[in-house]
C-alpha cells in the first residue's frame, strides 16, 4: 500500500514491527538469564496487577465473576510461567538425535533457536489468559512479541498496554492499540509466526492475510464441542459437571460444551438434572455475582435469535427466566437455557453458541453419536461420560478432535504437559508448555561430521572404491 494512504496508526504499527524485526536479525538471541528475567517480569506484571485486571475485565463485560477471572486466567498464567521458568534450561539445550550407522561416528543435534518476531491476536472472552499464555511460549523461545488485544475489551486492553510498557522495553514486547486500522493491518505484517485465537470465520481471514507473507500460523479456533453421555454414565454426576463447564464465563468459552448427546430414553431426566444443577450453582437472581454477563448487546441479541429460531422449529426451551426480562437484559445476563430436541436444521446446531445455551439431543444406537460428530467439522474439544471402557475407547479411536476430557469437561486445557490446539476447522498448531516453546522455536538440525568417517569415498574419481561403498550402503539400507 502507498505509504501516503496509510493512517498514522498503521505507520506507527509498521515502524514498531520493523524495529523488532531488525533487532532479531542483528542482535544475538537472548540467553537463559535474559529469558528468565523476562518471564519474571511478566509474572510480576500479572501478580502485582491482579485486582486491576479483574476490575477492568469485569467493567468490559458489564459484570465478570471475579473468581472466574482468578481461576481461569490469573492462576493459570502464573502456573504456566512457573512451569516454563522451571524447565527452560532443559528446553533450550540442544537435543541429541540418533545418527545413521553409515555416518558413524558423526553426530546429530537439534538446536532450538528463536524464530524472531511473534504476533499475537487475542480474543475477548478470556482476555488476560489468552493474550499472555502464547506470550509465555514466545518469550521462553527467545522471541520478541507484538500483541493486538480485542476491541471488545477496551478497558482491559488499555490497562495491559500500560502495564506491559512499564515492565518491558519496546525492543522486547509491545501491546498495540485496538483501533480499526491497526486491527486490519496487524495480520498483514510479515511476522515470523502469528498466533490467533477466535472464531473460525475470522481465523480464515487471518490465515489468508498471513499467507501472503508465508507467515506460519497457529490458529486456536472454536466450533461445536460435543458431549457424549454414554448409557453407562452416572447421569447426576454428568449433569453437574456439564452444567459447571457450560456456565463458566456464561458459556463464553471456546471449549465449552456446545451440545449433549444422551440416550433417548434419558433425555428428559438428564435435562431436568441439568437445570437443577444450573439453578443450584447460579440461582435465579440476575444480580448473582457468580454469574457473568454477556460481553455486548450484539452478542445478547444473537443468543436471543438462536433460542427463538429453535423454538420456532419445534425445540422445547427450558429457562428459569426469560431473556427479555428487563432485570436480566439490563445487566446483559442471559438466563441459563436448555434446548431439548434440537435438530440439525436449527441455527443453534449450525454455529458455535458462545453463550449459556445447551442443546440436548437423543440417540438410540450407541454408534449414532460418533456418526453425527463425524458428519460435521472436527471439534476443538470432545467430552465423554461413562464407565464402559470399551465404549470410551471406541469413541476415542473413531473421532478426531483438538482434545478430550473423559468424565469431565474443560480440564484437558489446563494440562501444561499436553499440547492445546485444534484440528481442521477448529484450528491448526498447538501451544502450552514445551509444545509452545517448540512451536515458537526453529528446531535447527545440525550434523557434526567426524574426522574418522569415510565420506570422502563418495568423491570422484569413483573407480573400484565406489562399488565397495555401494555394497555397504545397500547392506545398511
pLDDT digit string, tens, across residues 73-117: 999 999 999 999 999 999 999 999 998 877 888 899 999 999 999
Residue whose entry in the numeric block shows the C-alpha cell 489446563: 414
pLDDT of residue 375: 96
State the pairing for strand pair 427-428/217-220: antiparallel
Determine the average pLDDT of the residues in 126-132. 97
The average confidence (pLDDT) of the chain is 94
**Domains of the chain, start order:** 3-221+428-442 (3.40.605.10), 226-420 (3.40.309.10)
- The three grid cell numbers given for residue 466, joined into one nine-digit string: 565406489
Q: Which residue has the higher pLDDT, 303 or 7?
A: 303
- The three-state (H, E, C) secondary structure of the chain, written as one string: CCHHHCCHHHHHHHHHHHHHHHHHHHCCCCCHHHHHHHHHHHHHHHHCCHHHHHHHHHHHHCCCCHHHHHHHHHHHHHHHHHHHHHHHHHHHCCEEECCCHHHCCCEEEEEEEECCEEEEECCCCCCCHHHHHHHHHHHHCCCEEEEECCCCCHHHHHHHHHHHHHHCCCCCEEECCCCHHHHHHHCCCCCCEEEEECCHHHHHHHHHHHHCCCCCEEEECCCCCEEEECCCCCHHHHHHHHHHHHHHHHHCCCCCCCEEEEEHHHHHHHHHHHHHHHHHHHCCCCCCCCCCCCCCHHHHHHHHHHHHHHHHCCCEEEECCCCCCHHHHCCCCCCCEEEECCCCCCHHHCCCCCCCEEEEEEECCCCHHHHHHHCCCCCCEEEEECCCHHHHHHHHHHCCCCEEEECCCCHHHHCCCCCECCCHHHEECCECHHHHHHHCEEEEEEEECCCCCCHHHHCCCCHHHHHHHHHHHHHHC
pLDDT of residue 476: 72
Determine the average pLDDT of the residues in 233-254. 97
Q: Which residue has the higher pLDDT, 467 or 40?
A: 40
Confidence class of residue 132 from pLDDT cuts 50, 70 and 90? very high
Q: What is the Cα–Cα distance from 170 to 164, expressed in whole angstroms? A: 9
Catalytic site includes residue 254 = yes
Of 228-237, 299-308, 458-467, the one with minimum mean pLDDT is 458-467
Burial tier of 19 (Cβ tally within 10 Å: 0-12, 13-18, 19+): middle
- pLDDT score of 473 more than 80: no
Give per-residue burial for 209-246: e unless 16+ CB within 10 Å, then b: bbeeeebbbbbbbbbbbbbbbbeebebeebbbbbbbbb
pLDDT of residue 459: 74
pLDDT in tens, 435-469: 999 999 999 999 998 888 766 667 777 777 777 77
Confidence class of residue 272 from pLDDT cuts 50, 70 and 90? very high
Determine the average pLDDT of the residues in 348-353. 96
CA angle 274, 293, 379 (to 5 degrees): 60
pLDDT in tens, 386-445: 999 999 999 999 999 999 999 999 999 999 999 999 999 999 999 899 999 999 999 999
pLDDT of residue 103: 81
CA 154 from chain centre, in angstroms, equals 21
- pLDDT score of 198 more than 70: yes
pLDDT of residue 163: 98
- pLDDT score of 331 more than 60: yes
CA dihedral 302, 308, 310, 315 (to 10 degrees): 140
Tell me which of 65, 172, 240, 254 is the catalytic residue.
Answer: 254
pLDDT of residue 386: 98
pLDDT of residue 451: 83
Confidence class of residue 2 from pLDDT cuts 50, 70 and 90? low
Tell me which of 50, 80, 172, 220 is the catalytic residue.
Answer: 220
Catalytic site includes residue 409 = no
Determine the average pLDDT of the residues in 159-186. 95
Confidence class of residue 4 from pLDDT cuts 50, 70 and 90? low
- pLDDT score of 313 more than 70: yes
What percent of the chain shows pLDDT beyond 90? Answer: 88
pTM: 0.94
Rounded to a whole number of angstroms, the distance between the first and last alpha carbons of the chain is 53
Amino acid at each position: 500500500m502507498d505509504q501516503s494512504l496509510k493512517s498514522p496508526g498503521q505507520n506507527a504499527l509498521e515502524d514498531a514491527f520493523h524495529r523488532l524485526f531488525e533487532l532479531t536479525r542483528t542482535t544475538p538471541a537472548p540467553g537463559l538469564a535474559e529469558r528468565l528475567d523476562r518471564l519474571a517480569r511478566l509474572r510480576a506484571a500479572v501478580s502485582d496487577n491482579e485486582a486491576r485486571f479483574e476490575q477492568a475485565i469485569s467493567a468490559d463485560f458489564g459484570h465478570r465473576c471475579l473468581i472466574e477471572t482468578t481461576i481461569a486466567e490469573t492462576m493459570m498464567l502464573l502456573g504456566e510461567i512457573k512451569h516454563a521458568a522451571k524447565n527452560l534450561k532443559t528446553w533450550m539445550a540442544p537435543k541429541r538425535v540418533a545418527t545413521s550407522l553409515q555416518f558413524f561416528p558423526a553426530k546429530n543435534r537439534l538446536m532450538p533457536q528463536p524464530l524472531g518476531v511473534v504476533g499475537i491476536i487475542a480474543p475477548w472472552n478470556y482476555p488476560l489468559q489468552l493474550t499472555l499464555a502464547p506470550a509465555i511460549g514466545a518469550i521462553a523461545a527467545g522471541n520478541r512479541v507484538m500483541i493486538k488485544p480485542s476491541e471488545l475489551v477496551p478497558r482491559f486492553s488499555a490497562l495491559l498496554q500500560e502495564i506491559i510498557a512499564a515492565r518491558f522495553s519496546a525492543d522486547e514486547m509491545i501491546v498495540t492499540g485496538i483501533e480499526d486500522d491497526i486491527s486490519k493491518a496487524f495480520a498483514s505484517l510479515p511476522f515470523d509466526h502469528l498466533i490467533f485465537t477466535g472464531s473460525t470465520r475470522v481465523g480464515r481471514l487471518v490465515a489468508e492475510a498471513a499467507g501472503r507473507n508465508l507467515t506460519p500460523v497457529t490458529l486456536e479456533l472454536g466450533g461445536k464441542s460435543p458431549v457424549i453421555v454414554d448409557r453407562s454414565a452416572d447421569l447426576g454426576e454428568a449433569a453437574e459437571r456439564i452444567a459447571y463447564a457450560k456456565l463458566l464465563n456464561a458459556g463464553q468459552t471456546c471449549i465449552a460444551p456446545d451440545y449433549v448427546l444422551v440416550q433417548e430414553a434419558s433425555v428428559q431426566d438428564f435435562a431436568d438434572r441439568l437445570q437443577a444443577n444450573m439453578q443450584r450453582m447460579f440461582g435465579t437472581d440476575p444480580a448473582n455475582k457468580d454469574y457473568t454477563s454477556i460481553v455486548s448487546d450484539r452478542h445478547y441479541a444473537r443468543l436471543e435469535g438462536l433460542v427463538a429460531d429453535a423454538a420456532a422449529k419445534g425445540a422445547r426451551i427450558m429457562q428459569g427466566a426469560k431473556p427479555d426480562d428487563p432485570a436480566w437484559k439490563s445487566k446483559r445476563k442471559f438466563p441459563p437455557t436448555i434446548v431439548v430436541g434440537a435438530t440439525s436444521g436449527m441455527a443453534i446446531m449450525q454455529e458455535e453458541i458462545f453463550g449459556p445455551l445447551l442443546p440436548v439431543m437423543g440417540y438410540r444406537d450407541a454408534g449414532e453419536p460418533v456418526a453425527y460428530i463425524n458428519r460435521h467439522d472436527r471439534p476443538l474439544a470432545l467430552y465423554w461420560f461413562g464407565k464402559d471402557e470399551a465404549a470410551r475407547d471406541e469413541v476415542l479411536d473413531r473421532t478426531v478432535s483438538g482434545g478430550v476430557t473423559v468424565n469431565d469437561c474443560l480440564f484437558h486445557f489446563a494440562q501444561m504437559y499436553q499440547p492445546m490446539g485444534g484440528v481442521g476447522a477448529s484450528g491448526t498448531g498447538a501451544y502450552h508448555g514445551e509444545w509452545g516453546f517448540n512451536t515458537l522455536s526453529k528446531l535447527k538440525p545440525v550434523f557434526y561430521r567426524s574426522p574418522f568417517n569415510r565420506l570422502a569415498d563418495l568423491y570422484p574419481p569413483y573407480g573400484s572404491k565406489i562399488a565397495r561403498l555401494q555394497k555397504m550402503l545397500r547392506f545398511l539400507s
